[in-house]
Structure 1
Amino acid sequence: MRKRTAFALISALFLACMLAACGQESSNGSTGSTDSDTEQASVDIGMLKLTSSAPLFIALEKGYFEEEGIDAQVSWFEAAQPIAVATAGGDVDVGATGITASLYNMVAGGEELVIVADKGREQEGYSSTALLVHSDSDIETVEDLKDKKIGITQTGSTFHYMAGRLLEEHGLTSADVEMVPVNSIPGLMETLQSKQVDAVLLNEPNITMVLDEGYGKVITQVGDVIDYQTSGIFFSKSFAGDTEAATKFLKAYAKATQYYYDAVLTKENGEIVPGENYDEVIQIIAEYTDQEPAIIERGLPYMDPYGQLLAPDIQTQIDWYAKEELIAVPIDADEIVNTDLLDQAIKELE
């Protein structure tokens, strides 16, 4: 009798365990269904290891993309133009790079992509790109550059554009000078030091390096003369068409640009002061760009607090490049700009 009772108890215990296990499996199955419902969207980002990619680094490091249901994968590039090509071709969903004549020529040739957000611009009161001459030069103003040589990276580059616009803002044209392409930033520094050119355009931290070494002096900061959207965040046609995923991506990006701005770009009494998260942001940028923090601190580009694009400037750029015959076919900025997605993202963050 006791054996039968013991067997019954064991059977009852076994049955209870089985039911509990089934209940847990059912619960796990339910959770799995929820996970499936909130499956993350995979987004491939093409970018360079530059300080101007800081918001993307921040969003990756702090998990902002994950919070928005975005599985962000990074494809690292060595030059700017291939990023635009990859974005237009759909090899990456998002491209982060400079806005050049080559980009506009791609669009004019039928390639499709859209610029959706800020990734760095020239802004009054912030050191980013400047016109420099040799320290012992007698050139004091932009007007003094008539009949002189100006070093730029490449024809149709952002440096070419800035040089041309600076000249026009001071009553000159590109025809009044000789533009000398030297293909690289180190090349610009070398040609200035050796006096092969009369002036160059340089960005930070290279400006500060030249000043520290004593062979150059600044004539003017570009941002003090013109507002200029130097680089942007691009979406492929297909990704821009997926408005839900695109908006989620931009929500994460907007949070990151705000974090970046508050940490390194806020001002008090007209002077930039380190924000609460300054050291953290500098360290994140240093790790992603493989540079020393001290170098990073010298070249922190201006960005809109929410990553909003300086949209009217895109048409200004197109018109200038077309005037200089650097774009084969003029295009309408509406073909290449989409600010609605970021506007919606910011609205959802409020």
Structure 2
Amino acid sequence: MFKGLFVLLGFLSILVSQFVLAEDKYLEVPVGISPVMSSAAMFIAKERGYFQEEGLNVIINPFKASGAKMVPFLATGQLFVAGGNINAGMYNAIAQDIPIKIVSDKGTVSPGHGYLALIVRKDHVDSGRYRSFKDLKGMTLAVTAKGVSQQIVTEKYLKSVGLNLSDIKMVTLAYSDMNIALANKSIDATVQIEPFVAAAVQNEFAVRVAGDDEIYPNQQSAAIFYSPVFMNKYPKQAQGFMNAYVRGLRDYNDAFEKNKGKEDVIRILTKYTRIKDKKIYQAVVPVGLSPNGMVNVQSLKDDAKWYFEQGYLKALPDMDAIVDLDYARRATKALGVYR
């Protein structure tokens, strides 16, 4: 499937030569990313001029879906960088000799950072239809796609009370569409992402019943990916991009962990995401984002094993070949220890 797509899009690879240093000395860097809270560091780094300081003109291309959907564009160089969910589709694409790298954190469900959470329709809670995880049996739940980290954690909620995925009806929806489906009662529950969790609660059509950090702590749910075109053709700029991104990660942590500059970070989030109400960002559970850009490789291996056992992968991916944290390590060395 991907080979056919590459033939179709192959001619676009010549456009890579156009991403050159212009007269103003800025390299145009196309980035694909979802407009959600876990993308905060990217938005901060762009808004505060960190990318420009590295000689980069970052062009953000919003994706309603992420992860595997971005892979063909990373392969051809239409995207130099992407950020999204880590899933089976992405690993299957990489298995077809597409040397994309996972280079940094974009969302870890570390303790206290349940930015992904199980939410249930409020009318089910009010009526008593839902009282515990056991009551998910027979309900319709949404995931963004089959073979995604969200599906793994959904199963963990079910298995904690002796249920399985076969005990629910599963449908696929984008995160941005899940709240609509909850409000119009076409689904019963879902594992949702911030700021949509806080929005659902504030608008009183859903209740947050558990954070994913309670059921699967430290799951690496999302990451930053580099295109082989970016790494090979522009190695200096690829490092500069990471330096700027890690600064964004640290600013995010300052805001949501230390309450330092939070109002301005919330302003940035309302600019780049679909949730424009600043009050909602005061109510969110913060995303776990490493201030040094590190990812939980063991979590990646555990989730890949689940995809393989469920038949979503033909073979286990070689994480040592896929994950390259040297960019983040060099950025951390250049910026110093985060305190």
Tell me the TM-score normalised to structure 1 length.
0.76
Match of 1:129 in 2: 116
Structure 1 pair 43/212, CA: closer, same or farther in 2 (3 Å)? Answer: closer
Q: Which of these residues, 296, 299, 306, is aligned with residue 292 of structure 2?
A: 306
Match of 1:106 in 2: 93
Q: Quick check: 1:239 aligned with 2:230?
A: yes
Structure 1 pair 193/65, CA: closer, same or farther in 2 (3 Å)? Answer: closer
Residues 294-336 of structure 1 deviation map (CA, whole Å, 9 limit, x = unaligned) = 3344444231122222222111111111111122333222232
Match of 1:22 in 2: none
Q: Quick check: 1:154 aligned with 2:145?
A: yes
Offset at residue 192 of structure 1 (A)? 4.6
Structure 1 contact 204–298 (Cα < 8 Å) conserved: no
Offset at residue 257 of structure 1 (A)? 0.6
Partners of 2:296 and 2:56 in 1: CA distance? 26
Per the alignment, in what secondary structure is the counterpart of residue 162 of structure 1?
helix
Offset at residue 199 of structure 1 (A)? 3.5
Structure 1: unaligned runs, 5 residues or longer = 1-34, 267-273
Structure 1 contact 124–225 (Cα < 8 Å) conserved: no
Q: Quick check: 1:248 aligned with 2:240?
A: yes
Structure 2 contact 37–194 (Cα < 8 Å) conserved: no
Structure 1 pair 339/212, CA: closer, same or farther in 2 (3 Å)? Answer: same
Tell me the TM-score normalised to structure 2 length.
0.79
Number of equivalenced pairs: 306
Q: Which of these residues, 67, 72, 77, is aligned with residue 90 of structure 1?
A: 77
Q: Which of these residues, 274, 277, 287, is aligned with residue 292 of structure 1?
A: 277
Match of 1:211 in 2: 201
Larger radius of gyration: 1
Offset at residue 39 of structure 1 (A)? 4.7
Indicate the percent of aligned positions where both proteins have the same amino acid. Answer: 26
Partners of 2:130 and 2:169 in 1: CA distance? 17
Partners of 2:33 and 2:294 in 1: CA distance? 19
Q: 1:70-85 to 2 correspondence within 5 Å?
A: 70-80=56-66, 81-85=68-72
Q: 1:1-350 to 2 correspondence within 5 Å?
A: 39-80=25-66, 81-133=68-120, 134-135=124-125, 136-146=127-137, 149-168=140-159, 171-175=162-166, 177-185=167-175, 188-189=178-179, 192=182, 199-226=189-216, 227-241=218-232, 242-266=234-258, 274-275=259-260, 277-289=261-273, 291-299=276-284, 300-350=286-336
* Superposition RMSD in Å: 2.9
Offset at residue 194 of structure 1 (A)? 6.3
Partners of 1:220 and 1:238 in 2: CA distance? 41
Residues 122-163 of structure 1 deviation map (CA, whole Å, 9 limit, x = unaligned) = 222124122233213354433554565433333223422221
Partners of 2:33 and 2:195 in 1: CA distance? 20
Structure 1 pair 316/170, CA: closer, same or farther in 2 (3 Å)? Answer: farther
Match of 1:32 in 2: none
Structure 1 pair 297/328, CA: closer, same or farther in 2 (3 Å)? Answer: farther
Offset at residue 66 of structure 1 (A)? 2.3
Offset at residue 235 of structure 1 (A)? 0.2
Structure 1 contact 108–328 (Cα < 8 Å) conserved: no
Structure 1 pair 187/263, CA: closer, same or farther in 2 (3 Å)? Answer: closer
User: 135-144 vs 43-52, which deviates more?
Assistant: 135-144
Partners of 1:99 and 1:347 in 2: CA distance? 26
Offset at residue 72 of structure 1 (A)? 2.7
Structure 1 pair 324/72, CA: closer, same or farther in 2 (3 Å)? Answer: same
User: 216-225 vs 108-117, which deviates more?
Assistant: 216-225
Partners of 2:54 and 2:191 in 1: CA distance? 39
Structure 2 contact 37–195 (Cα < 8 Å) conserved: no
AA aligned to 1:263 is A
Partners of 1:204 and 1:109 in 2: CA distance? 33
AA aligned to 1:157 is V
